[in-house]
Amino acid sequence: MGKKSRVKTQKLGSGASTVASPKEIMNLVAELLQKCSTATPAGGKEWEEYLQIRSLVEKIRKKQKGMSVVFEGNREDSFRELMSWAEENGAPCNSFTIANFGAEGYGLQATRDIKAEELFLWIPRKMLMTVESAKDSVLGPLHSQDRILQAMGNVTLALHLLCERMNPSSYWLPYIRSLPLKYDTPLYYQQEEVQLLLGTQAVQDVLSQYKNTARQYAYFYKLAQTHPAASKLSLKDSFTFDDYRWAVSSVMTRQNQIPTEDGNHITQALIPLWDMCNHTNGLITTGYNLEDDRCECVALQDYKATEQIYIFYGTRSNAEFVIHNGFFFQDNSHDRVKIKLGVSKSERLYAMKAEVLARASIPASCIFALHCNEPLISARLLAFLRVFCMTEEELKDYLLGNGAIKKIFTLCNTDYPVSWENEIKVWTFLETRAALLLKTYKTTSEEDRSLLEKPDLSPNSRVAIQLRLAEKQVLQKASAFGRTKRLYFEQKLAEVAPLPVYEGSDIALLENNDGDPKLPIVLHKLEELEEGQEIRGEEHSLFPHGEGAQQQLNLEGNHVQMRDELANGSNYASLDLDKSSTETQKDHGSLTASRT
Are the CB atoms for 272 and 123 separated by under 8 Å?
A: yes
Q: How confident is the model at residue 531 (pLDDT cuts 50, 70, 90)?
A: low
Instruction: State the maximum Cα–Cα separation within the chain, in Å, rounded to a whole number.
Output: 83
* CA pair distance 280, 300, nearest whole angstrom: 9
Nearest to 486 by CA among 421, 405, 559: 421
Q: Which residues pair with 287 in a beta bridge?
A: 296
Given this model, what pLDDT does residue 326 score? 95
Give the mean model confidence (pLDDT) for residues 576-589: 30
Q: What is the 3-state secondary structure (H, E, C) of 295-338?
A: EEEECCCCECCCCEEEECCCCCCHHHHHHHHCCCCCCCCCCEEE
SS3 424: helix
Q: How confident is the model at residue 236 (pLDDT cuts 50, 70, 90)?
A: confident
Q: Which residues pair with 281 in a beta bridge?
A: none
Write the single-letter amino acid at 51. L
Preceding amide of 403 cis, omega within 30: no
Which range (173-177, 474-478, 568-572) has the least confidence? Answer: 568-572
Q: How confident is the model at residue 517 (pLDDT cuts 50, 70, 90)?
A: very low
Write the single-letter amino acid at 49. E
Where are the alpha helices (H) located in 79-128, listed in sequence order?
A: 79-88
* CA pair distance 425, 423, nearest whole angstrom: 5
* CA pair distance 351, 229, nearest whole angstrom: 51
User: Using one digit for the tens of pLDDT, what is the confidence trace for 263-320?
Assistant: 899 999 999 999 999 999 999 999 999 999 999 999 999 999 999 999 999 999 999 9
CA distances to 7, 66, 136, 163, 257 from 166, in Å: 7, 15, 17, 5, 25
SS3 271: coil
Given this model, what pLDDT does residue 11 score? 39
Residue 304 neighbours by CB under 8 Å, 6+ apart:
110, 113
SS3 71: strand
* CA pair distance 575, 544, nearest whole angstrom: 11
* CA pair distance 510, 520, nearest whole angstrom: 22
Residue 555 above 60 pLDDT?
no
Residue 80 neighbours by CB under 8 Å, 6+ apart:
none
Q: Residue-wise over 489-501: b if at least 16 C-beta within 10 A, else e?
A: bbebeeeeeeeee
CA distances to 110, 174, 222, 236, 238 from 22, in Å: 50, 32, 11, 11, 11
* CA pair distance 43, 47, nearest whole angstrom: 10
Are the CB atoms for 268 and 158 separated by under 8 Å?
A: no
User: Using one digit for the tens of pLDDT, what is the confidence trace for 251-264?
Assistant: 999 999 999 998 89
User: Which tops the pLDDT comparison, 67 or 531?
Assistant: 67
Given this model, what pLDDT does residue 504 score? 67
Given this model, what pLDDT does residue 446 score? 97
* CA pair distance 569, 579, nearest whole angstrom: 6
Q: Quick one: 168 exposed, middle or buried, by C-beta within 10 A (0-12, 13-18, 19+)?
A: middle
> Measured at the alpha carbon of residue 86, what is the angle toward residues 84 and 91, in degrees to the nearest 5?
130
Q: Which residues pair with 534 in a beta bridge?
A: 366
User: Using one digit for the tens of pLDDT, what is the confidence trace for 52-79?
Assistant: 999 999 999 999 998 987 888 889 999 9
pTM of the model: 0.83
Residue 493 above 50 pLDDT?
yes
* DSSP secondary structure, 363-377, as one string: -SEEEEEEESSSSSS
Q: How confident is the model at residue 502 (pLDDT cuts 50, 70, 90)?
A: confident
Helix (H) or strand (E) holding 123: strand 119-124
Q: What are phi and psi of 301, to 5 degrees?
A: -160, 180
Preceding amide of 375 cis, omega within 30: yes
User: Using one digit for the tens of pLDDT, what is the confidence trace for 425-483?
Assistant: 999 999 999 999 999 999 999 999 999 999 999 999 999 999 999 999 999 999 999 99
Q: Average per-residue pLDDT in the chain?
A: 84
Given this model, what pLDDT does residue 556 score? 27
Q: How confident is the model at residue 22 (pLDDT cuts 50, 70, 90)?
A: confident
User: Which tops the pLDDT comparison, 214 or 236?
Assistant: 214
Half-sphere exposure of 98 (CA within 13 A, CB side): 22
* DSSP secondary structure, 383-412, as one string: HHHHHHT--HHHHHHHHHSTTHHHHHHHTT
Helix (H) or strand (E) holding 379: helix 379-388
Which range (76-90, 154-168, 297-311, 571-585) has the least confidence? Answer: 571-585
Pairing relationship of beta strands 69-71 and 7-9 according to DSSP bridges: antiparallel
Q: Quick one: 330 exposed, middle or buried, by C-beta within 10 A (0-12, 13-18, 19+)?
A: exposed
CA distances to 80, 123, 168, 498 from 85, in Å: 9, 11, 15, 71
Residue 540 above 50 pLDDT?
no
Sign of CA dihedral 111, 113, 116, 118: negative
User: How close are the terminal C-alpha atoms of the chain, in Å?
Assistant: 22
Considering the chain, what percentage of its residues have pLDDT values greater than 70? Answer: 81
Q: How confident is the model at residue 510 (pLDDT cuts 50, 70, 90)?
A: very low
User: Which tops the pLDDT comparison, 435 or 554?
Assistant: 435
Quick one: angle between helices 420-438 and 459-494, nearest 10? 160
Q: What is the 3-state secondary structure (H, E, C) of 126-178?
A: HHCEEHHHHHCCCCHHHHHHCHHHHHCHHHHHHHHHHHHHCCCCCCCHHHHHH
User: Using one digit for the tens of pLDDT, what is the confidence trace for 306-363?
Assistant: 999 999 999 999 999 999 999 999 999 999 999 999 999 999 999 999 999 999 999 9
Residue 1 neighbours by CB under 8 Å, 6+ apart:
81, 85, 173, 174
User: Which tops the pLDDT comparison, 236 or 272?
Assistant: 272
